[in-house]
Amino acid sequence: MFRYFGARLTRGAGSVLAADSALPASASLLRHRGYSQAVDRDDDPNFFTMVEGFFDRGAAIVEDKLVQDLKTRDSPEQKMKTVRGILRIIKPCNHVLSVSFPIKRDGGEWEDNELEKITRRFTVELAKKGFIGPGIDVPAPDMSTGEREMSWIADTFATTMGHYDINAYACVTGKPISQGGIHGRISATGRGVFHGIENFINEAAYMSQLGMCPGFQDKTFVIQGFGNVGLHSMRYLHRFGAKCVGVAEMDGSIWNANGIDPKELEDYKLANGTIVGFPGSTPYEGNLLEAECDILIPAAGEKQLTKSNAHKIKAKIVAEGANGPTTPEADRIFLERNIMVIPDMYLNAGGVTVSYFEWLKNLNHVSYGRLTFKYERDSNYHLLMSVQESLERKFGKHGGAIPIVPTSEFQERISGASEKDIVHSASSESSISVKTLNNKHLLLNICHVNMNVSEKYSYMLKTSGMILLLKLLP
């Protein structure tokens, strides 16, 4: 499925770019194979409709007992195809930001000591094969992993294969601060989701196409998944005036038309292990993805919005906080229905951006702002003193003082930027250029963001001299 998804994305973006570009098609398109073209044929339309375009759903119509009998382990070839497909989706996301950091690994049901043994042994095997290192591959946390697991990996690598490498702790990101982590990493992905939505919801040109007013005020949103991404996305949207009316989790969904407070919901889940029964809310019967709202944020798993439910979505903006929650068929339906899809490869890239900052911090062996913190603070105070003295010389009477008193907000900034401030500022600036979209007068969707990636890729081929080589290839 992932390989099919990746091919559809690049094919859709490349077809638009190739028509407008003087470059050869091989330079305008990311290369793709034709392994999924059967999905577009009409040999047996009933079959393709039944499985919704995905062959792996064919078993869903078989008897339950037979499905259990058919279950088996994936072959090594199938596992390789799956991993390659996931990487194919993630790689364009990194091209948008000009960084390169994959991917995730599910911990499953293990005791802490068992999980630590597995993680450390896994790290050793990666290092033995040359698959991990500050200048090789740098993993980052995702679902079911966090600072603890990343600390195990960094410690194992630094005390084994990386014993003589001064940059050993740069082999992984998402570490605790004490292990070389960076402030702001935990909330980075959710903050990136917020900034991605902000870049479009404040643009009158885009909002007019959707029949909405710019800004977060009076906007309602629904979140699927109340994990790290969902929680912090909810916090930032709530802080800027949007109202969360529904939250969906695996064990149930809650609804409150008057709004759900993210901090109160977080505390309730920490105390009870679930969001079900949250005071002031009611259980939501049905699929919360189809609820009435302005912004829908799927922040759980992939393939949540498909051909079967895309026509039921009532939101005007679908903000993909998860990886691949919208299938190509659903994306096509959303475009026809004038629903904006802000793609995952742009929207949830906040985590990979701050991972990049952490990697740079580890290579530089110094925290952001540490070298200039006091100098900038003293410079700010000297600037205020200079302004005050100039005013007194010009307008002061009989040597009277004209005190310059900074506001409380400026007093906080005058003290100098912390590492967290620098990270937040830099991550908010790491957003996609909408120049490509504006030039082509297109409503944002998955393939249109791929156009931005494909143009960067084409420019790289052109400047590196690869286009001539591609022309010579059969």
User: Above 70 in pLDDT, residue 195?
Assistant: yes
Q: Is residue 344 part of a domain?
A: yes
Domain of residue 323, residue span: 188-351
CA 422 to mean position of chain CA atoms: 19
Provide the 10 A C-beta neighbour count for residue 180.
22
What per-residue confidence (pLDDT) applies to 176? Answer: 86
Q: Rounded distance, CA 150 to CA 407, Å?
A: 41
Q: Is residue 271 part of a domain?
A: yes
Find, among 138, 161, 240, 140, the residue nearest to 193 by Cα.
Answer: 240
User: Above 50 in pLDDT, residue 182?
Assistant: yes
Return the structure tokens found at 125: 């095997």
By CB atoms closer than 10 A (0-12, 13-18, 19+), residue 444 is: buried
Mean pLDDT across 318-327: 86
Classified as helix, coil or strand, 446 is helix
Q: Is residue 410 part of a domain?
A: no
Mean pLDDT across 445-465: 66
Q: Rounded distance, CA 253 to CA 44, Å?
A: 38
User: Above 80 in pLDDT, residue 43?
Assistant: no
- The most confident of the ranges 92-96, 104-108, 204-208, 241-245 is 241-245
Q: Rounded distance, CA 86 to CA 79, Å?
A: 11
At 368, which amino acid appears? Y
pTM over 0.75: no
What per-residue confidence (pLDDT) applies to 442? Answer: 46
Lowest mean pLDDT segment, chosen from 166-170, 278-282, 397-401: 397-401
More confident residue, 142 or 239: 239
Q: Do 242 and 295 touch, CB atoms closer than 8 A?
A: yes
User: Above 80 in pLDDT, residue 297?
Assistant: yes
In the chain, how many domains are there? 1
What per-residue confidence (pLDDT) applies to 395? Answer: 72
DSSP conformational letter for 310: G
Q: What percent of the chain has pLDDT over 90?
A: 3
Residue carrying the six token digits 């196409």:
209
Ramachandran class of 74: left when φ > 0, alpha when ψ lies in -120 to 50, beta otherwise: beta
Residue carrying the six token digits 């605790």:
176
Mean pLDDT across 130-153: 85
Mean pLDDT across 187-212: 83
User: Above 70 in pLDDT, residue 107?
Assistant: no
- Phi–psi pair at 285, nearest 5 degrees: -90, 125
Q: What percent of the chain has pLDDT over 70?
A: 62
Lowest mean pLDDT segment, chosen from 195-209, 295-309, 425-439: 425-439
What per-residue confidence (pLDDT) applies to 97? Answer: 60
Helices (H), 396-418: 408-414
More confident residue, 88 or 25: 88
Provide the 10 A C-beta neighbour count for residue 87.
15
CATH (domain of 278): 3.40.50.720
pLDDT digits (tens, 9 = 90+) for 325-340: 888 888 888 888 888 8
Q: Is residue 334 part of a domain?
A: yes
Handedness of CA 95, 303, 72, 46 (dihedral sign): negative
User: Above 80 in pLDDT, residue 177?
Assistant: yes
Find, among 349, 48, 22, 36, the residue nearest to 199 by Cα.
Answer: 349
Q: Do 184 and 174 touch, CB atoms closer than 8 A?
A: no
Find, among 152, 100, 98, the residue nearest to 126 by Cα.
Answer: 152
Q: Is residue 259 part of a domain?
A: yes
Q: Is residue 297 part of a domain?
A: yes
What per-residue confidence (pLDDT) applies to 28? Answer: 38
Helix, strand, coil % in the chain, rounded to nearest 5: 55, 5, 40
pLDDT digits (tens, 9 = 90+) for 9-35: 555 555 555 555 544 443 333 333 333
More confident residue, 431 or 93: 93
User: Above 50 in pLDDT, residue 51?
Assistant: yes
Residue carrying the six token digits 């410690």:
155
Q: Do 224 and 300 touch, CB atoms closer than 8 A?
A: yes
255 sits in which H/E element: strand 252-255
Q: Rounded distance, CA 387 to CA 403, Å?
A: 10
Q: Is residue 339 part of a domain?
A: yes
- Phi–psi pair at 249, nearest 5 degrees: -130, 175
Q: What is the DSSP string of 215-240?
A: SSTT-EEEEE--SHHHHHHHHHHHHT
Lowest mean pLDDT segment, chosen from 36-45, 156-165, 345-354: 36-45
Mean pLDDT across 210-221: 87
Start-to-end Cα distance in the chain:
28
Q: Do 355 and 184 touch, CB atoms closer than 8 A?
A: no
